[in-house]
Amino acid sequence: MKGFFSVDGPLYRFVETFWNLIKLNFCWLVTGAPLIAAGYLCASISQLLAVVLTLIGAGFLGVSTVTAFYVLQKMVDNREGYIFKMFFREWKKNLKVGYPMGFINAIAIWAIFMDFQLYNAVTDPNDKIRYFFLAGGIILSIVGYFTFVYAYPLAGRYDNTWFACIKNSSRIVSRYFGRTMLMTLVIAFEIAIFIWNQFLMVIGALIAPVTVMYTISGMSMYMFREIEKGINSGDDGKVNISATN
C-alpha cells in the first residue's frame, strides 16, 4: 500500500499524467484555436473573413498539434520535462512543417463538410446525385483520416518535410492496417466516453483532444520503433524517416 501512494507509485504517476494532459491541452487550445474561434464568430458578419481567419487559424492549429505530439511522445517515453517550457520552445520550431499540414487538413475537412451539406441540400430521395455526395463525403473522410492519422506524430518525432510526413502516414497505415484499425476503435471508445454525460463532457473539455493524441502517440511509437529497427538493419526501404528529435 505504501508503494501505491509513493512518488514512484501508480497513483502519483496517474495524477501527474492527468495534470500534464490538462496543461498540454491548454497550450494546444491557446496557440491553435483563437483564430478559428474568431472565424466562427465572424461568420454572421462576413463569410469571406470567417473563411480567411479559419484557414489561417487552422495552420497554427497544425503547428500546435505537431508540437503536442512531440510532448506526448516524450511522455510515453517518460522523458517529459516542464510542459509549458517544452511546448512553447518546440512550437516555434514546428512552424515550417506544421502550418502547411494544418492548412491542408482544414481544406480536406471543408471538402468533406461540403459533400455532406450538398447531400442534405438535395431533398428528393430519388435524385441519385444525393447519394453521390454522400459517398464522396464518406470516402474523403476515410482517405483523410488515413492520410493524416500518423502525419502529425511523424512530424513531432522526426525531422522531415510536411509532404514526406503525409506520404509516410499513408504507407504506415498500409503496413500496419490491423493495428491502425484497433487504434481507431480505441479512439472511438474514448470519444464515446467523453460524450456519455455532462460531467464527462466537462472532463473532455479539459483533456479529450490530447487524450486522443496520447493514444495515437502510445500506439504509433511501437510502429515507429519497428520501422527504425528495419531501417537500421537495411530491411525497410519504403518509409523515409529522418533522425528523431
Does residue 152 form part of some domain? yes
Assigned domain for 183 exists? yes
The DSSP output letter for 158 is: B
Look at residue 16 and tell me if it is in a domain: yes
Q: Is residue 4 a part of any domain in this protein?
A: no
> Residue 124 pLDDT > 80, yes or no?
no
Helix (H) or strand (E) holding 182: helix 177-194
pLDDT value of residue 187: 95
Q: How confident is the model at residue 237 (pLDDT cuts 50, 70, 90)?
A: very low
Residue 233 has pLDDT above 60, yes or no: no
* Res 28 pLDDT > 60: yes
For range 64-74, the mean pLDDT: 95
CA dist 46 and 44 (Å) reads 6
Residue 195 lies in a domain: yes
Q: Percent of the chain scored above 90 by pLDDT? A: 51
Structure confidence at residue 238 (pLDDT): 47
Structural domain contains residue 23: yes
Q: Is 165 helix (H, G, I), strand (E, B) or coil?
A: helix
> Which among 208, 173, 170, 176 has a CA at the least distance from the CA of 189?
208
pLDDT digits (tens, 9 = 90+) for 17-27: 889 999 999 99
Model confidence band, residue 242 (pLDDT cutoffs 50, 70, 90): low
The pTM assigned to this predicted structure is 0.88
Nearest to 217 by CA among 131, 137, 157: 157
User: pLDDT band at 229, cuts 50/70/90?
Assistant: confident
Measured at the CA of 112, the angle between CA 203 and CA 48, to 5 degrees, comes to 90
What grid cell was written down for 114? 461540403
Q: Is 91 left (phi over 0), alpha (psi -120 to 50) or beta?
A: alpha
pLDDT (0 to 100) of residue 102: 94
pLDDT level of residue 56 (50, 70, 90 thresholds):
confident
Whether the per-residue pLDDT at 244 is higher than 60: the answer is no
Residue 237 lies in a domain: no
User: How many distinct structural domains can be found in the chain?
Assistant: 1
Q: Is residue 223 part of a domain?
A: yes
Give me the domain span that covers residue 151.
Answer: 10-232
